[in-house]
Amino acid sequence: MQKTNKICSFCGVEASVDVPLIAGNDGQICEACVILANQVVSSWGKKKQLAEMHGPLPKPAEIKQLLDDYIIGQDLAKEILAVAVYNHYKRLKHESSQIGGLGASDDGVEIGKSNILLIGPSGTGKTLLASTLAKIVGVPFVVADATTLTQAGYVGDDVENILVRLLDVADGHIGKAEWGIVYLDEVDKIARSPEQAFGTRDVSGEGVQQALLRLVEGSHVKVPNKGRRKDGNTADSVIVDTRNILFIAGGAFPGLEKHVEKRLVPANTAIGFHREIGRSEQKPDIEVLLNATEPDDLKRFGLIPEFIGRFPVLAPLEPLDVDALIQILTEPKNALVKQYQHLFAYDGVSLEFTPDALVEIAEKAIVRNTGARGLRSIMETILRKAMFELPTREDIEICIVDAEVVKNGAPLRLIEHDQESPLQKQAGAG
């Protein structure tokens, strides 16, 4: 009787010394088909987790419109972010729909990810932009402070702790964490200092940049499991693939505009008869300089070229003026004026702000140079006494904040139940 050669029940390859087959009850399977089946099953799990995270991906115009509900101004940064986030998750959704999820399109083209670097003064909305984007897309989001990171082996947080926190936010689901967004805050603080002594190890500056390279570019990182037991995983550590994690870095980069200005406006060093008479000495606005930022300027600031190359998308944020701060106070869904009006309404008091008072609050924030972040501190100072006294008084119906209250610390105007508000009188007269 002639012996028949065994073949793989899936691809039909014939068994040999180089191609062993795993035998089952009714067939055999080769190693290549086992690997392919594992990739297919993994893609099913990722597609299921993606479906649980969010529905259809919004278009760039829709993302910007949703950002407008929470963040005032910064149209250029919103447009850049909307396009980058849409392209990133469009690629991921397309790859997850491919059989096996091999990361390449039908014609073999593999699309890389584009991480984002936000540049702008403090308090212009960098962190708020990143967190709002994560809510819109519906993926895990974590903020990591770059100033607490140190090079491996030194006191401080290792860069791998960022992934530990991302896994915590994703409830231990590796698939969800691998589709998340990481915001690296204060990246300007890890720039290499020009005063750094030659030959000394910069463990919290350049060392952190070097450690972040592997994480940001995309690699398999071993992360402690820390008691997570999701999906039956009982191992002490898990492997996280960072290739699909979108990294958004942000920083104020104080003094960056000087490097840009030096490149754009060469210094007039000529003296005597050679000096140009009547040459304008007016400096460009900081907004114009930040918009003209190039990778070479970031290199002069102290970022290493390898780190800059991992963030190909630069999104500059413009400084906030008085009009923008007034809009921030009143227009967004979670505007500060609306928040404090709700707090006062819980005690049965209506809180009102005159237009002049809003202007004074905005100007005070500009003087402090804290951006929108400083508005809450100013509001707390203005309303502290009222929030202390009004809960014990039941005769007050309206509390009015005018310019004198903000400018000179005058007492707030309190209107009792049987009195008419001055603002209501002005409305009636108009």
Among the ranges given (5-14, 348-357, 386-395), the one the predictor scored with the smallest mean pLDDT: 5-14
Asked if the model's pLDDT at residue 108 lies above 80, the reply is: no
11 assigned binding-site residue: yes
112 assigned binding-site residue: no
128 assigned binding-site residue: yes
219 assigned binding-site residue: no
Higher pLDDT, residue 85 or 284: 85
CATH hierarchy code of domain 322-429: 1.10.8.60
Report how far residue 231's alpha carbon sits from residue 241's, in angstroms, rounded to the nearest whole number.
17
CB–CB of 316/76 below 8 Å? yes
CATH hierarchy code of domain 32-103+111-193+201-251: 3.40.50.300
Give the E-state strand segments of 70-201 in sequence order: 116-119, 141-145, 181-185
Q: Which helix (H) or strand (E) is 321 found in, with range?
A: none
Q: Which amino acid is at 372?
A: A
User: Please, which residues have CB within 8 angstroms of residue 366's CB and are 6 or more apart in sequence?
Assistant: 320, 321, 322, 325
125 assigned binding-site residue: yes
* pLDDT tens string 303-317: 999 999 999 999 999
Q: What percent of the chain has pLDDT over 90?
A: 23
24 assigned binding-site residue: no
pLDDT for 83 equals 92
User: How many CB atoms neighbour CB 360 within 10 A?
Assistant: 22
SS3 label, residue 251: strand
pLDDT band for position 47 (50/70/90)? Answer: low
Q: In the chain, which residues fall in CATH 1.10.8.60? A: 322-429
**Positive or negative, the Cα torsion across 53, 54, 60, 66?**
negative
- CA nearest neighbour of 123 among 390, 280, 405, 318: 318
Among the ranges given (50-59, 70-79, 117-126, 143-152), the one the predictor scored with the smallest mean pLDDT: 50-59
Report how far residue 319's alpha carbon sits from residue 71's, in angstroms, rounded to the nearest whole number.
13
Instruction: Read off the pTM.
Output: 0.74
- Provide the mean pLDDT of the chain: 81
Query: DSSP secondary-structure letter at 167?
Result: H
pLDDT for 170 equals 87
pLDDT for 193 equals 67
33 assigned binding-site residue: yes
Q: In the chain, which residues fall in CATH 3.40.50.300? A: 32-103+111-193+201-251
8 assigned binding-site residue: yes
pLDDT band for position 424 (50/70/90)? Answer: low
* pLDDT tens string 221-253: 888 876 555 554 556 788 888 988 999 999 989
124 assigned binding-site residue: yes
Report how far residue 254's alpha carbon sits from residue 121's, in angstroms, rounded to the nearest whole number.
7
